[in-house]
Amino acid sequence: MAIASADSYRPMQVKKALDSIFLSLGLNPENPFEGYIKPGMRVFIKPNWVASRWRKSCDHTDCLYCVITHPAVIEGVADRVAQALCGKGEIIIADNPSIDADFEELMEFTGIRRLENKYDVPCHIYDLRPLVCKDLKDYGKKDKMAHQPGDPNGEVELNLGKNSLLYDVDSTLFRGVFDEREETVAAHTGETQLYTMSKSLYDSDVYISIPKLKTHQKVGATLNLKGQVGAMTRKNQLVHWRIGSPETGGDEYPDHESWERAQHAKVTHRGAHPGNDTIWRMVVDLYKSLLTKERKYFTIIDGIMAGEGQGPFCPTSKHANVLIGGFDFLLTDIAAVRYMGINPEKIKYLDYFIQQMSADYRSNPVFLNGEMRNDYFTCNTRYADFEVPFAWRNIKC
């Protein structure tokens, strides 16, 4: 993994940081994907486009680029992909944003659609959502959602069966995106453990993920692995919590008192606490689903302007001034949360995979501005020292 400084999103600053990362990873900055991406391949690029504007429920407003991936980073990566394709192949840039995001507003804000006409290979930008919420007051009501095409290449349903971490969990309390829980429960009962992925992604030869470096109220931190929520087309299959409090078998709220307060609150934060024992399992499942088909991977995490505090929708901007790159989503996420001042072993979905590793993750080299840091994973330095949601304060190094 490699980390490079960039003090702004100016193209030359982004280029310099990307070149440093490529060089540290043993790639030629002049044409970093040469040989890795071959002419004729389909390359899927997934940014974090979770929102198109600041939510009214947030107690503050900030720059939207502490929530979503900046277009300068997407373009910097896409330029190098097009270079490697040599006029043959296809680039797809796509995401499945939050169900209430206005995609055209997002496109106008970022100006990213101009990439569709920039390269000598087809470049398509897709909104992968088959359902959208036109008014946030209707959030959670499936019959109020508007239908749209979603991924024009279709979708692929995967069944993890007994390999799912939800296999031996009582599904009767599972909650997905909608109040109607029948679909969620049916997708995760017994040996039926279903996840439906964008076919554009599933069929890709190379998958490049460009998430935002950001904290998250429900899982602690959101990067590549948690970002796979945006690769799935049927959001109601994604289990976010079990309804109720621990006293009734749920983890929607940390205790009965919190559940009672929420019954009279205008804004609730369901599942937003470390005791949520459901959503991290879903994140593990998403990564397992991704690995069911062999393809090449690469990631650049956008941390030039990052998000700390009440992520993913209401963070505070954090000028971490870095890009973080690697070939392995899991190992790069581990390095990234450590850069945030977080102990990766206290992020449950990361720790699950850490426990499965045959070798200590700390033995993997991390380059910081071109210098290999053998002591990178020790807790002596917090690097960027992100503020985390108060309930998650114990995850800090």
* pLDDT at site 170: 94
Could you tell me the pTM of the whole model? 0.97
Q: Which residues pair with 372 in a beta bridge?
A: 367
Mark residue 196 as left, alpha or beta (left: phi above 0; alpha: psi -120 to 50; beta: remaining): beta
Q: Where are the alpha helices (DSSP H) in 90-198?
A: 103-110, 182-187
Do 18 and 24 form a contact (C-beta atoms < 8 A)?
Answer: no
Which tens digit of pLDDT belongs to each residue from 139-190? Answer: 889 999 999 999 999 999 999 999 999 999 999 999 999 999 999 999 999 9
| Token digits of residue 378 | 């020790």
Which tens digit of pLDDT belongs to each residue from 207-246? Answer: 999 999 999 999 999 999 999 999 999 999 999 999 999 9
- Backbone φ, ψ for residue 93 (5° rounding): -110, 115
Residue type for 298, please? Answer: F
The angle at the Cα of 160, spanning 159 to 161, to the nearest 5 degrees, equals 90
| Token digits of residue 115 | 């990439």
Q: Which residue has the tokens 């941390």?
A: 303
- CB burial of 13-30 (b: ≥16 within 10 Å; e: otherwise) equals bbbbbbbbbbbbbebeee
Do 72 and 6 form a contact (C-beta atoms < 8 A)?
Answer: no
Whole-angstrom distance, CA of residue 13 vs CA of residue 175? 43
Residue ranges of domains in the chain? 2-155+198-233+287-395
* pLDDT at site 109: 98
335 pLDDT above the threshold of 90: yes
Whole-angstrom distance, CA of residue 51 vs CA of residue 66? 11
Burial (CB count within 10 angstroms: exposed 0-12, middle 13-18, buried 19+), residue 99 = buried
Which is it for strands 90-95 and 42-47: parallel, antiparallel or unpaired? Answer: parallel
* pLDDT at site 291: 97
Non-local (6+) Cβ contacts of 356 within 8 A are: none
Type and span of the H or E element at 5 = strand 2-5
DSSP 8-state symbol, 70: -
| Token digits of residue 276 | 């949520």
Which tens digit of pLDDT belongs to each residue from 338-382? Answer: 999 999 999 999 999 999 999 999 999 999 999 999 889 987 877
Whole-angstrom distance, CA of residue 289 vs CA of residue 295? 13
| Token digits of residue 153 | 């290449």
* pLDDT at site 374: 87
Name the band, by pLDDT with cuts 50, 70 and 90, for residue 265.
Answer: confident
Do 397 and 343 form a contact (C-beta atoms < 8 A)?
Answer: yes
Of 206, 178, 184, the closest CA to residue 80 belongs to 206
Residue type for 106, please? Answer: L
Average pLDDT over residues 87-93: 98
Whole-angstrom distance, CA of residue 6 vs CA of residue 9? 8
Which is it for strands 206-210 and 42-47: parallel, antiparallel or unpaired? Answer: parallel
Compute the mean pLDDT over every residue in the chain, rounded to the nearest whole number: 96
Please provide the distance, in angstroms rounded to a whole number, between the alpha carbons at the two ends of the chain.
20
Neighbours of 104 (CB within 10 A): 10
Name the band, by pLDDT with cuts 50, 70 and 90, for residue 385.
Answer: very high
Distance of CA 335 to the CA centre of its chain: 15
The angle at the Cα of 383, spanning 378 to 386, to the nearest 5 degrees, equals 110
| Token digits of residue 196 | 């439906």
Three-state DSSP string of 369-384:
CCEECCCCCCCCCCCC
Non-local (6+) Cβ contacts of 7 within 8 A are: 13, 304, 321
Which is it for strands 296-310 and 206-210: parallel, antiparallel or unpaired? Answer: parallel
Average pLDDT over residues 107-129: 98
DSSP 8-state symbol, 273: S
